[in-house]
Structure 1
Amino acid sequence: MTRQYFGTDGIRGRVGEGVITPDFMLRLGYAAGKVLGKMAGDKRSGRASILIGKDTRVSGYMFEAALEAGLINAGVDVGLLGPMPTPAIAYLTRTFHARAGIVISASHNPYQDNGIKFFNADGSKLPDQVEQDIEAALEQPIITAPNLGKAWRIDDAAARYIEFCKASTPWGFALDGLKIVLDCANGATYHIAPKVFRELGAEVSAIGVSPDGLNINLECGSTNPRQLQKAVLEMGADLGIAFDGDGDRVLFVDRDGELIDGDQLLFIIALHRQQYLGGCNGVVGTLMSNYGFELALRERNIPFERAKVGDRYVLEKMQANGWSLGGESSGHIICADATTTGDGIVSALQVLRAVSDFGEPLQKLKQRMKMLPQHMINVRLAHRDGVLDHADVRAAVGEAERQLANTGRVLLRPSGTEPLIRVMVEGQDAAQVEQLAKKISTVVERVGNA
């Protein structure tokens, strides 16, 4: 029995602690090379090739070298992309007909963290069985292959991805006259996003474009957009766009400095598809998606379903339903008719396409959807066993739902990593929502600490 390494978002942790060590990366590279190298070789060299990309955190250099060494030992060729957004690696894996793509990134986490994510040859996440095979191969000793792999650097990776992003919009689409502030989180989009939007005609001011290995996501980017909000107001910009460290999330700021989250952006994209692109067959959100988002789609006869939190679950439900649009309130948006994974730049362009076609500024367009007040409390417990099914907890939830009278919802969700239960209430009245969340939390705390 092997240890379970792969989570819903790859392998992630604090550098030097647990599995995130150079030694583990060497063994992981070798194991991945042995498993993926068994398949038929690609068209480029007659044997398997795997691409490696990374974000801007300092530990990426160390892990890149370790993975490269492990893969070469397994007889696999390695294409080095350098700092690139996660969705760019998914795209380039397809473009180069590689066996797989590896991303070295901890996404929106601080620089002390890092992680690994795999894409298959189609630019999608590896099947569970392949992940299990790699885990099993981690236990094997490293034996240098008789025919070592070779490494090469892909110097035009950034230019290829920039053109891909621009091509996700229709021919002739332009952002002429639009004044935009970009916040690249000192992350992987720092040398990509400004060029994309400038080449489409926008007047671009960029912040968070000076990575030093330590400042990724530091008081900037989609997880901390205050600098962007301030810059939009000071510069008199039409809007601002914030990415996270690896470029798979995006949030907007309107010209009044107000933040626009992933639910609102998804709604704008869905509305645009319904009115201008022949219809929107459905949208997948998550358990945390705002209830106002669901109501706004329902009013327009756009089907909506919720998945568990996590882009993997969103994509699975999209594929099961045959839908092309889904995402999370964090700004991880998947436009499956444009690319295979969440892509902050591509999603931002879909929003700007809607703004252009509707002919309305962002702050007016977002008003077509009413966000409901939402209050969440994290309740730390001595134990979680049986708490959600306890009669007192069920009664408290039932009473809250009765008071909301089908104008809101209640959600109790255990944390996947901590001894917490998250209590969330949504409704029309902010004061009522907060009061109900506190009442339920009190009962949950009493039961869970009994």
Structure 2
Amino acid sequence: MAPAIMLAAEAPKLSSANTGFMLICSALVLLMTPGLAFFYGGMVRVKSTLNMLMMSFVSIGIVTILWVLYGFSLAFGSSNGFIGFDSDWLGMSNVGLTELWDGYTIPIFVFMVFQMMFAVITPALISGAIADRVKFSAWALFVALWLTIVYVPVAHWVWGADGWAYKLGVIDFAGGTAVHINAGAGALGVILVIGKRVGFKKDPMRPHSLPLVMLGAGLLWFGWFGFNAGSWLGNDDGVGALMFVNTQVATAAAMLAWLAYEKIRHGAFTTLGAASGAVAGLVAITPSGGAVSPLGAIAVGAIAGVACAAAVGLKFRFGYDDSLDVVGVHMVGGIIGSLLIGFFATGKGQSTATGVFYGDHSFTQLWKQFAGVGAVLAYSLVASAVLAFLLDKTIGMRVSEDDEVSGIDQAEHAETAYDFSGAGGGVLGTVSAAALAGSSKKVDA
């Protein structure tokens, strides 16, 4: 995370204000995972709704336990530039209630739980790329392995006090590399292994509930203020406030840019475009918001909105089945937001590092950003593909073709999202239920 700004003579003392603020931010970040579940759940067909909700929710359970047992120790303990370790943090059993996170005014417990919520949502982001076709048991095991082998080391590189990227000076305020590029590249690695959905590029695969998508996007937008502003770990110098403002500004700019792009390209302003554009802006400002001005945030958001809108169509050109555009939004948005720091960093925010447009004509910060982006992208892509390959060859990653066609909700969870038989009583109710069932079949439910 960002370095503390304190005089050497000062000894940090527990701040109840900062502690309370960070607990609220942690809850906001947790809310993002159910928000993601609704966002993804509305984007899939009816027959996959519950599966998408469950893929996000099970990440909360698995990652929470593993983070307490060993994840936090390996991610943030001091050891070397590639992985950390602190025996006192295994199980969090040797941590004092008021023991402070080094250099800050909040307890270790608070920092641990804040970072836990980041770890929870990152593998959940991958689920959108593999919608409709993965065994739930295989997904649960993948989450546990991916957290351990991919997320934990990358988090240490970027945010650990002795992480190589952190020491190099790579700027990632709240997760452009560790969260979004990591998840997006991981998603690409997995889908290249497990292949396409049945009927990809042939059958209609439209979102079944755009209101759910908008609800999810709204919850993500709301929770993202905790995700971003909270990453400064306090409210003492105004940097968190700058990040809060930039989060709102960039998100608005990206949404408008995406809508303008699709109106010019496709002739309509869509609700799915508005929701996706907002998420693209949130992704891009996550690494950069503490380093750029509000005007820079507008530029970051607008560039990300257009670039991500263009990128989502690449799956049809290159033939990889990224079901819900995780690669196009999170990987591309994370890359853009991380690299634009090298152009728009003012030197007046989280650090004195400046970008090309603010005097860094030697491209020093830009090259550092390239190093961080390239390393995370390559490692996550390869490691995720290897994990998916091993799971696919052992327990199998995909459901059967029959289960995929008939509906993964029923096959994997023995439930359906909508009970049309309960649409009402009497003849009218029977007719309504039949009509609804027929309607769901027409949209390939």
Give your verdict on TM over 0.5.
no
Greater per-residue helix proportion: 2
Shorter-chain TM range is under 0.3
TM-score, structure 1 length as denominator?
0.25
Of Structure 1 and Structure 2, which has the larger fraction of its residues in strand?
1
If asked which structure has higher relative contact order (CA below 8 Å, sep 6+), I would say: 2
| Bigger-Rg structure (1/2) | 1
